[in-house]
Amino acid sequence: MARIGFIGLGNMGGPMATNLVKAGHDVRVFDLSQEALQRLKAVGASPAATAQEAVQGAEYVISMLPADKHVQALYLGEHGIADDIPKGALVIDSSTISADTARSMAAELVEKGLRFIDAPVSGGVGGAKAGTLTFICGGEGADIEEARPILENMGKNVFKAGAHGAGQVAKICNNMLLAVLMAGTSEALQLGRANGLDPAVLSNIMLQSSGRNWTLEVYNPCPGVMEGVPSSNDYQGGFLVDLMIKDLGLAQGNAVDSNAATPMGNLAAELFRQHSEQGNGSLDFSSIFRFFETLQNK
């Protein structure tokens, strides 16, 4: 059993922390949302009044926050918790943030006597609930190995992508591809529908053909084709359009810095941005399917 401080109990962090409680760890949690804190209290976690309190005596600190600014402020901001975390503790940031921020955070936290790995995840809210996430880690090999049993309480795959920041690079490569696949799958399903095909039948055909991909397997964007996914729940929950736009922005920034060409990622980013500008930023990203409907009607 480990003593874990867990900060950020949203769509992903909530079920991840729940799985750590179920695995028998002593989990002290904090979120700005009282509702999120109460949900974790109900499953046996210890709610803390502040982030500082959540990390008192912690051997491991895990954060699952929206973006760079939240992670930087949590650890190194005006009331940052870096000085409250016991020396030698391992900080595991599972948020999706820029590789540059992960590297600079690692340097500053190591300077303060802590250890750090970037460990962003793939697998969505379903994977977080089922404990089947993939962790994509950057950092010292020994730290990643030490974290492995804890990460395996929340996921089924733990990869070392490379040094600090490499986990974030691999994660944004994956999410850029996911955005392209979700947009492409939506476009194909809309084309089939415009020709009178049943989206469920077409999905099944593509699943057994060369267009097969993760969105068709477990996250179909067309309402009614698949049960238990956001498209069949009015695109509520899941992975928000605005978080996907954030990830595509990270990929675009990285592409500029590393002089890599990402024309498909850039186009996907543009489509998701237009979709968000129509007031859909808080819907699940598979709602890009609906965006293609609005284009058809023009």
The least distance separating ligand NAD from the CB of residue 57, rounded to whole angstroms, comes to 19
The least distance separating ligand NAD from the CB of residue 194, rounded to whole angstroms, comes to 29
Rounded to whole angstroms, the Cα distance separating 155 from 134 reads: 6
**Are 92 and 60 contacting, i.e. CB atoms less than 8 angstroms apart?**
yes
Report helix, strand or coil for 29.
strand
Q: Is 241 in the site for ligand NAD (CB under 6 A)?
A: no
Q: Which is nearer to ligand NAD, 14 or 192 (CB)?
A: 14
Q: Is 150 in the site for ligand NAD (CB under 6 A)?
A: no
Q: Is 125 in the site for ligand NAD (CB under 6 A)?
A: yes
Q: Which is nearer to ligand NAD, 55 or 202 (CB)?
A: 55
Report helix, strand or coil for 223.
coil
Report helix, strand or coil for 123.
coil
Query: Of the residues 129, 160, 171, 298, which is catalytic?
Result: 171
**Are 116 and 93 contacting, i.e. CB atoms less than 8 angstroms apart?**
yes
Q: Is 136 in the site for ligand NAD (CB under 6 A)?
A: no
Q: Which is nearer to ligand NAD, 70 or 160 (CB)?
A: 70
The least distance separating ligand NAD from the CB of residue 83, rounded to whole angstroms, comes to 16
Write the DSSP symbol of residue 3. E
Q: Is 96 in the site for ligand NAD (CB under 6 A)?
A: yes
The least distance separating ligand NAD from the CB of residue 246, rounded to whole angstroms, comes to 6
Rounded to whole angstroms, the Cα distance separating 200 from 15 reads: 30
Q: Within 7-66, which residues bind ligand NAD (CB under 6 A)?
A: 7-13, 30-33, 36, 51, 64-66
SS3 per residue for 58-104: CCEEEECCCCHHHHHHHHHCCCCCCCCCCCCCEEEECCCCCHHHHHH
Report helix, strand or coil for 238.
coil
Greatest CA separation for the chain: 63
- Helices 241-258 and 263-275: crossing angle in degrees, nearest 10, is 150
Name the one range near ligand NAD by CB under 6 A: 17-25, 37-45, 238-246, 251-259. Answer: 238-246
Question: Contacting ligand NAD (CB under 6 A), which of 60, 219, 235, 239?
Answer: 239
- Burial of residue 286, with CB atoms counted within 10 A of its CB: 0-12 exposed, 13-18 middle, 19 or more buried: buried
Is residue 171 part of the annotated active site? The answer reads yes
Q: Is 106 in the site for ligand NAD (CB under 6 A)?
A: no
Binding-site ranges for ligand NAD (CB under 6 A): 7-13, 30-33, 36, 51, 64-66, 70, 74, 95-96, 121, 124-125, 238-239, 243, 247
Which residues form the catalytic set? 171
